[in-house]
Amino acid sequence: MVQTRRMPTLSGKEMVILELLLGAHEMYGLELVGASRRRLKRGTVYVTLQRMEEKGYVRSRLEARSEGTAGLPRRLYEATATGRRLFALWTSVRRQLQLEPA
Amino acid sequence: MKAAPSRGVPRPPGQLLRRVAQRFCSRSTLVHVVDPIVADMQHEWDAARERSSTARACVRLAGYAAFGKALALRTLTASGEHLVRNAFGTSREERSFYRRAASTTAATLLLLTLVAVFGSSGSSMRSLAYVITHQRWPGGPAEAEALQRAAAIALRADALANLVPCALLFVLPASVLFGILLAARMSLPEHGPARAPRTRWVGSAALTATIGGVALAGWLIPQANQNYREIVFSSVNRTARAENVPMKGSRELNFGELGAAIQQEKARNGKYVALYRTEWHKRVALPAACTVLGFLAIGLVDPARGRSAFGSAVTAASVGFIHYWLMRVGEQVLMPRGVPPFLAAWSGNLVLAAAAIILIVRRHELARPPEASARPR
């Protein structure tokens, strides 16, 4: 994880990803796109996930290979404690500022 | 030794893409961007094996498109981060590269912009003279007088100044190519092993030009074009009232106005949707050509061929002309024939990007030491 002194921030896409990951235990990139109802796109989700992993908001692991599956193992993502805390904080700030749609 | 895949069992897609990416991408990008995309595509394709061949082809295409977009995005963000962190370079060699690239590009831009401004001013003078003579303005003048009036309008300082942004954008890609090509060639060491220009340096320089170009194309040029039209309109039609300004065409709309115009045309099933969308894509494609041509420069720099400035100028002029010609073909020939606006506007960039990839791969092959090429894979 890259340590920075800057205030941690969450972009709109990062919020969506954390929201989805908090609802499920682990998800892979394409699953996130499918569950996001068009809020995430296939071409951008992987780059966003990489950035979030560098910031320490999510962590990932390779899935265990099952018999008879061809191709590379998928990468599964889950929210870290930092990601969870940041999401909770961000959501409450947004609510307090009434930026959330009613 | 790797076992050969048995006949009849189709290979999962994406292996070639991954091999190509291995050549260019950092380990982090490979592990966190390329492999997850390929893995997801392969699993989706595996799940679609029972379905029709069309469904499988769709999975493939969607995967390839996501792969291209993600890599382009990653390249842009990585180059941007590099540029912010090392705005003036981290080493003497790198600073010297940026200085040479910037000064050569600026000098070329200045020269080519002047040529382009006076060239387009000359052609608008001819059109103006035609309009003044043939539109029979009240008390229409004779041809010689019309030409004189047209020249007076076209050579007005404020009219010429408003042609500058558009001319700048058109000559920007070729100027950037020349700047990078010359800087890269001059950076080659005179003694010792020849090295190719660093991809990150070239990426950063080209990306800066692209960002500047998008700002120019999206906001400054439309305003300058409209100013030019108003100046010419008020000069030709002296009886016009100040509030009667000419309506904006597609080239006079900024990004926001173009987006709104596209939505309006779509809502009323208008015939100008393709025109507006092509114009929108062109505004991004033309500046993006700086990045494409920047990477083409990496492929074009041949460490064995010395540091000729004349050779770089000829190469840049030829490539710039080819790019301009391909973009014109996209706009004038492909778009009216129903080719999607994206392809019509990006055709030049796509062709030259393919050429850049081929040249870079070839250069990597040539640069590889003989024992590495002889090693069994």
Reported confidence tier of residue A85, pLDDT bands at 50, 70, 90: very high
Contact flag B39-A73 (C-beta cutoff 8 Å) = yes
Buried/exposed code over B158-173 (b: 16+ C-beta within 10 A; e: otherwise): ebbebbbbbbbbbbbb
- DSSP three-state, residue B272: coil
Q: What is the pLDDT of residues B9-25, one digit of tens each?
A: 567 888 888 887 887 77
DSSP state of B291: H
For residue B296, give the nearest of B184, B212, B138 by alpha carbon.
B184
Question: Which domain does A62 fall in, by range?
Answer: 12-96
Q: Is A38 or A6 the better-scoring residue by pLDDT? A: A38
Say what the pLDDT of residue A101 is.
56
Chains A and B form CB pairs within 8 A to the count of 71
Percent of chain A, pLDDT > 70?
85
CA distance B222 to B321: 24
Question: Could you tell me which residues are beta bridge partners of residue A60?
Answer: A77
**Which CATH number goes with the domain that contains A77?**
1.10.10.10
Say what the pLDDT of residue A1 is.
46
Say what the pLDDT of residue B221 is.
92
Q: Is A40 or B242 the better-scoring residue by pLDDT? A: A40
Residue B317 identity? A
Contact flag A47-B36 (C-beta cutoff 8 Å) = no
Provide, as residue numbers in chain A, all residues whose Cβ is less than 8 Å from the Cβ of B14: 71
Identify the residue whose tokens are 């690239």.
B101
Residue of A1, A13, A42 to mutate for B, most B C-beta atoms under 10 A: A42
ipTM: 0.84
Q: Is any Cβ of chain B less than 8 angstroms from the Cβ of A49?
A: yes
The answer to whether residue A3 sits within a structural domain is no
Contact flag B43-A69 (C-beta cutoff 8 Å) = yes
Q: Is any Cβ of chain B less than 8 angstroms from the Cβ of A30?
A: yes
Say what the pLDDT of residue B309 is.
77
Using alpha carbons, list the distances in angstroms from residue B336 to A27, A100, B71, B286.
44, 45, 31, 19
Residue of B16, B40, B79 to mutate for A, most A C-beta atoms under 10 A: B40
Provide, as residue numbers in chain A, all residues whose Cβ is less than 8 Å from the Cβ of B36: 28-29, 46, 49, 74-75
The answer to whether residue A56 sits within a structural domain is yes
CA distance B263 to B89: 44
The answer to whether residue A51 sits within a structural domain is yes
The answer to whether residue A21 sits within a structural domain is yes
The answer to whether residue A102 sits within a structural domain is no
The answer to whether residue A55 sits within a structural domain is yes
Say what the pLDDT of residue B203 is.
77
Q: How far is A96 from chain B (nearest CA, A)?
A: 32
Say what the pLDDT of residue A80 is.
93
pTM of the model: 0.61
Of the CA atoms within 13 Å of residue B226, those in its CB half-sphere come to 14
Pairing of strands A75-79, A58-62: antiparallel
The answer to whether residue A4 sits within a structural domain is no
Three-class SS of chain A = CCCCCCCCCCCHHHHHHHHHHHHCCCEEHHHHHHHCCCCCCHHHHHHHHHHHHHHCCEEEEECCCCCCCCCCCCEEEEECHHHHHHHHHHHHHHHHCCCCCC
Provide, as residue numbers in chain A, all residues whose Cβ is less than 8 Å from the Cβ of B40: 28-30, 74
Task: Supply angle C-alpha B239, B241, B246, rounded to 5.
Answer: 100
The answer to whether residue A101 sits within a structural domain is no
Helix locations, chain B, DSSP H:
15-24, 27-29, 35-47, 53-85, 92-134, 143-154, 157-187, 199-215, 221-236, 255-267, 273-300, 309-329, 341-367, 370-374
Say what the pLDDT of residue B376 is.
47
Question: Could you tell me which residues are beta bridge partners of residue A27?
Answer: A77
Say what the pLDDT of residue A57 is.
92
Contact flag A70-B32 (C-beta cutoff 8 Å) = no
Say what the pLDDT of residue B3 is.
44
Q: What is the pLDDT of residues B63-110, one digit of tens each?
A: 888 888 888 787 777 766 666 666 555 677 777 777 888 888 888 889
Number of domains present in the structure of chain A: 1
**Ranges of chain B with pLDDT below 70:** 1-10, 79-90, 134-143, 188-197, 237-245, 302-307, 367-377
Reported confidence tier of residue A59, pLDDT bands at 50, 70, 90: very high
